[in-house]
Structure 1
Amino acid sequence: MMSWMKCCVFPLVLLCMWQLQEGAHACRCLPVHPQTAFCESDVVIKAKVVAITTAGEFDDIKYGIKLQKILRGPIKNYDTIYTAASSAACGVTLTIGVEYFITGPLMANGAPYASSCYYVVPWKSSHNILVERYRMGCDCKINRCFALPCEISGPNECLWTDWLTENSVDDVKNKQCACVKRSDGSCAWYKEVASPGRG
């Protein structure tokens, strides 16, 4: 009986502990508005993915890119971008042949690093306008609101309330709005095709 316990139960306990440890290392970061990601990133680029290299099961994935535009950060000829090998480590999956709007930090070797904690999405023509709005709003602060009531603590803030609705990811403030400074110094949501307004 004791040998059965050693042979079967102990490995099962180890397996359960390993699974719990894996779950504890899942990617955890609060949702970030595209403007916040733009303003707080070391580098923001428009790039087309042209190749992919995997160095191993637990190593970063290296994407070869064709740089099309540097929107923020050091002017360099970036030709690669890295990401974690799994979504559990906040890695992102990029597709060869697709153009992306990529925000994120720079690695020690100077290459951009893509993470789901920043903002990495396929490029759309609307990004040309939104990038300029984001740039104008880097002095403003976007506060997330997950549950009512929510308040702003100063005139340089905008409330991001998308997460109070079922269709939060597709809400207008996420994809079409920027928080920009008005002539009186306060910040307000500005929609691409509308006038500035609080909310």
Structure 2
Amino acid sequence: MNAPAPVTLQPDVSTRRPALAGLAALVLLTLVLGAWQCRRGLDKLDRAEAAERAQAVKIWRGGSLPVEGARFRPDGQWLPSLGFSVAPRPRQGRPGAEIVTPFRLRDGRLLLVNRGWLADGHPPAAVPTAAPMVEMAAWPRFITLGPTPPEGSRFQHVDAGAFASWAHTPKPAGYAYALESALAIDIPRPFLNAERHFAYMASWWGMTLAGAILWWRFRKGAR
């Protein structure tokens, strides 16, 4: 009795082509994500260099606002009547709030100045009479599920539009942190840690390389 002839399995082109297309799409996606992280890292390096160059600014009287991270002394006056707090803002396990006071520049625009953190129950810190030395900052980011109107002069988040509606003023031109403050101050510097983005870039492009090799081998096997 003759043995049955061996069965040769032919590659199923109809299933391999979609698989190749999907793998190619993943390779392209990781390539794009790596480029995006590279761009973010380079952007943070540029912003850090611009902030360092702007350290020479001493008195700012008008014109374009200094770049994020620049330190300067604006020319104008405090508006303590429009000051507000941002809460809850716990710090080291203690409840408290951040104290924000507007500063009117000579050209009439407003700069919201975060003067620092104050623990709940402590008396309000007096607003200084002299113009502050400040560090320019980006508007704080926040996530909310719905409208969060202020309660009296207590806000949940720093928001230019919400402040303008509450104070009946034009939207503030910018946001800054006071450097000479009697309150505790923690200044975020989002333009730092560029190395983290380059590490993400390397991870994504490593996956791009691995995916490209896998795609090539898979394609050769399909022939």
Pick the structure with greater CA Rg: 2
Task: Judge same fold: TM > 0.5, yes or no.
Answer: no
- Give the alignment's TM-score, normalised by structure 2: 0.28
Q: Which has the bigger relative contact order, CA under 8 A and spacing at least 6?
A: 2
Structure (1 or 2) with the greater helix fraction: 2
